[in-house]
Structure 1
Amino acid sequence: MSAQLHFDREHTDDLAAFVAAGPSPYHVVANVAERLERAGFTRLGETDAWDGEPGGRYVVRGGAIIAWYVPEGAPPETPFRIVGAHTDSPNLRVKPRPDSGAYGWRQVAVEIYGGPLLNSWLDRDLGLSGRLVLRDGGTRLLAVDRPLLRVPQLAIHLDRNVGDKGLVLDRQRHMQPVWGLGAVDEGGLIRFAAEEAGVEASDVVGWDLMTHDVQPPAYLGRDREFLAAARLDDQLSVHAATAALAAVAGSSGLTHVPVLAAFDHEENGSESDTGAGGPLLGRVLERSVFVRGGSHEDRARAFAGSVCVSADTGHAVHPNYAERHDPTHRPMPSGGPILKVNVNQRYATDGVGRGLFAAACDRAGVPLQEFVSNNAMPCGTTIGPITAARYGITTVDVGVPILSMHSARELCGADDPFLLANALKAFLEG
């Protein structure tokens, strides 16, 4: 293994800090924007007039951020190299009328977002995060990062069948967290959130709030060879892609426009104005072509020459459930990123995409693994097929293998975040 591939503890430490500071998609976007601005990027408003000057730019819409770097002298037909990822994770989200309770307990009414492993949210110390929408149209981020809520599990003494038949959870009745004692306090949660955010409750007209596990990321294992953290799916990829884009911005000799596209709502299908199925990425790329004097023909040429890497976590082989994996494809932690393949296009990888990403890994000196699903198991999907179908762009699905995907706390190899970032950097360099 070459010297550049030693475990870079500083990079994984930074990922841990990134995840801890990103309890909601809105916080993830704010963290990415701050890092990009330190790298010289400038924020643009979607309603502003743009110019075609070279340099780094980014656009924020809710829980999504698109960033790109235009090299000096890049003609309008210059193709894009895109890394796509997502900012959201499965969790419990606050309902429009959040104050509930029974029998002297105060509770918060929540809705299940995405596909969480519900049992992993039981008996955890949960915080509250997201955004408040104010009467003047502004927003305020909220992060109550201390034990505030808890979804209590029923004691085994009151459910003797759980030992034999396993835990059965009703998504409506059993997943409502407690957060106090007393009669139901209508408006109490939003008054509390407003106070925590430093605004008047009367100014709050809307909210997008959710729970998060307040336990900080930690190294795990005899030799600290794992990272355990919430929201590795998919903040690990967002962090790696942000580091890669910041590293290549300003590089000489770029023959394409490197792009980061971090979407919201991947966990529930991507069909939103901030999801990969929406128009945000396409509009940003088109405007980048047009403000450099390009035509629709130039836009078509740029898209035809573009490539996208869809970076999302994948499955490491589980030592207790090895039969659930394909017998010849069993990715290991810290063995490098995985190339995800599904011939039914649940992943977008084909031979061309495989060759492009394998070449990037080879240039970076990064090992590459492969993942395919067991034929008897349904295969998940990503933003990769959405991007490929929507824009006609060659797309390859990759990621870091993890355990406990969609748990409140996931596990990856401590080397892999650094390896993925190096592979993405080599891809964006071209």
Structure 2
Amino acid sequence: MTDKEINELKDQLFYKPKFAYDEYDEKALSEMEEFSKGYIEFIDKCRIEREAVRYSIAEAEKHGYKEYKIGDKLEKGGRYYYNNRGKAAAFIRVGKKPITEGVRIVASHIDSPRLDLKQHPLYENSGFAYFKTHYYGGIKKYQWTTIPLSLHGTIVRADGSVQDIAIGLDPEDPVFYITDLLIHLAKDQMNKPLRSGIEGEQLNILLGSRPLPGASKDVGDRIKLGIMKLINDKYGITEADFMSSELTMVPSYPARELGFDRSMIAAYGHDDRVCAYPSYKALFDSTDDKNTSLIILSDKEEIGSDGVTGMQSLAYMDIIDELAKTFRASPAKVRANSMCLSADVNAGFDPGFPEVAERSNTCFLNQGVVMTKFTGSGGKSGTSDASGEFVGKIRRIFDDANVIWQTGELGKVDQGGGGTVAMYIANNNIDTIDVGVPVLSMHSPYEVIAKADLYETYKAFRAFIDWAK
């Protein structure tokens, strides 16, 4: 064979990943930038799951979606949203096809690692007032010190009245802070393993240092009292109301375009709101209403997807059962003919830490949406391993829609691992595979994604929802 024939054979037989910027024309670049603007607004305003639910439902209502509660009547062509206790949501579009042909499901999660306030959080020590926290999800604790933090959540008073708060995002707001030890005195700390340099009980939020005006030095806890008085004046709560409130500290960094070329986005909470946003946008933008579609924004994924708002809740399968019952179909048949994209992120290859990845089976930024056949750890423990037939079907859907996509695993075998909501959906006899955005610095207070991958993820979800076969 000639060199030319050999090279032609290589082109024919070898897999070659696509690089988004080699494929994009000016129209695609413009669409990518426009989509990214909307996402930056969303990720900036939605720091916790409750905020993401309110934001997405407001968008749904603009597109004609009406509130649905379990047991309500569903109609062909209907558009509905389900608000699961203010912390998770689902969006339903009833298609023209028989419900027995199944439901197209895209399921993401809208919770992210954070610092939750304990139920008795407020205390005073040595001239400072603090909040005690209990971290939520997998974090590197040292990353949460010496950064600006904002307070978000919901206050529930003794009389049952509720108020949402967000302090620390507006430039006029104060921020909050966790101290760290100065390097000059950190000899012992620096000799500890990295995971032990900061302990969970050291993640205490600095709130203030001024005593209650008029309180003499003989008054105990006068700084704590001063802080509590400020909180009471603004929100009408007493210390006891913390016990029934859900308050959390998150980074107050604004979402920003990253790099001289502005090709990336840095923000808190890409995992997994970077998949939630394009999932519901894909549904709202879809004009093909043949397929019945269900978009799920779930809660509690970072701590196992348990509870009434997590993916293991029966709430989401109840929606499918209600769809089946409405149109006199077998719920089991509807589930068996449904298919799902578990919309979650994967770890993008980081040249700064190449040793944790196996390059042939990792995902890269700017190479499109990543399809992850399985997650788990070690010997594929704790995962849904999608069938080859289902992977092939998703390949065809993406290729038919000119989606730029890649595959990837979560690091080297035995390096670590992780999980998604995929297995909880697959356990209901629904073919499921993970599809999402590659992320750098995942689970840190400030994560990084590429605009091109975000846009290709939107295209992938749209193609999946609209696929006619």
One of 219, 228, 243 as aligned partner of 2:266? 228
**1:273 corresponding residue in structure 2:** 308
Question: How many angstroms does 1:339 deviate by?
Answer: 1.2
CA deviation profile, 1:315-344 (whole Å, cap 9, x unmatched): 011112111011312321121011113355
- Whether the 8 Å CA contact 1:99–1:185 is kept in 2: the answer is no
One of 423, 444, 455 as aligned partner of 1:407? 444
**1:54 corresponding residue in structure 2:** 77
Moved runs in structure 1, 4+ residues, more than 4 A?
Answer: 134-138, 161-167, 184-196, 202-205
2:200 is paired with a residue whose SS is coil
Q: 1:188 to 1:306 in 2, by over 3 A?
A: farther
1:130 is paired with a residue whose SS is strand
**2:92 corresponding residue in structure 1:** 68
Question: How many angstroms does 1:207 deviate by?
Answer: 1.0
CA distance in 2, matches of 1:194, 1:364: 55
Q: Say yes or no: does 1:35 pair with 2:90.
A: no
- Give TM-score, length-normalised by structure 2: 0.83
**2:20 corresponding residue in structure 1:** none
Aligned residue identity for 2:318: R
Q: 1:169 to 1:177 in 2, by over 3 A?
A: farther
One of 197, 205, 215 as aligned partner of 1:169? 197
One of 333, 336, 348 as aligned partner of 1:316? 348
**1:130 corresponding residue in structure 2:** 153
CA distance in 1, matches of 2:267, 2:24: 28
- Whether the 8 Å CA contact 2:366–2:452 is kept in 1: the answer is yes
- Whether the 8 Å CA contact 2:257–2:265 is kept in 1: the answer is yes
Aligned residue identity for 2:206: V
CA deviation profile, 1:44-100 (whole Å, cap 9, x unmatched): 234x6333342210111131101110124x434241000000010001001111102
**Would you tell me which structure has more helix in proportion to its own residues?**
2
One of 420, 423, 426 as aligned partner of 1:388? 426
Question: How many angstroms does 1:194 deviate by?
Answer: 6.5
Q: Say yes or no: does 1:212 pair with 2:244.
A: no
Give 5+ residue unaligned stretches, structure 1.
none
Identity of aligned residues (%): 23
Q: Say yes or no: does 1:83 pair with 2:106.
A: yes
Question: How many angstroms does 1:355 deviate by?
Answer: 1.7
Q: Say yes or no: does 1:159 pair with 2:186.
A: yes
CA distance in 2, matches of 1:275, 1:305: 23
One of 115, 132, 141 as aligned partner of 1:92? 115
Q: Aligned-pair RMSD on alpha carbons? A: 2.3
**2:175 corresponding residue in structure 1:** 148
1:51 is paired with a residue whose SS is coil
Question: How many angstroms does 1:289 deviate by?
Answer: 2.0
**2:10 corresponding residue in structure 1:** none
Query: 140-149 or 182-191, which moves further after superposition?
Result: 182-191
One of 10, 23, 38 as aligned partner of 1:14? 38
**1:23 corresponding residue in structure 2:** 47
One of 239, 242, 248 as aligned partner of 2:280? 242
Q: Say yes or no: does 1:288 pair with 2:323.
A: yes
Question: How many angstroms does 1:172 deviate by?
Answer: 3.4
CA distance in 2, matches of 1:38, 1:189: 40
CA distance in 1, matches of 2:200, 2:342: 33
1:324-335 equivalences under 5 Å are 324-335=356-367
Q: Say yes or no: does 1:115 pair with 2:138.
A: yes
Give 5+ residue unaligned stretches, structure 2.
1-22, 212-220, 375-379
CA distance in 2, matches of 1:69, 1:195: 45
Q: 1:272 to 1:155 in 2, by over 3 A?
A: same
- Whether the 8 Å CA contact 2:102–2:335 is kept in 1: the answer is yes
- Whether the 8 Å CA contact 2:189–2:197 is kept in 1: the answer is no
CA distance in 1, matches of 2:48, 2:231: 15
CA distance in 1, matches of 2:332, 2:226: 53
Q: 1:318 to 1:108 in 2, by over 3 A?
A: same
CA distance in 2, matches of 1:118, 1:194: 31
Question: Highest CA radius of gyration, 1 or 2?
Answer: 2
**1:307 corresponding residue in structure 2:** 339
Q: 1:139 to 1:60 in 2, by over 3 A?
A: farther
CA distance in 2, matches of 1:170, 1:200: 34
Question: How many angstroms does 1:135 deviate by?
Answer: 4.8
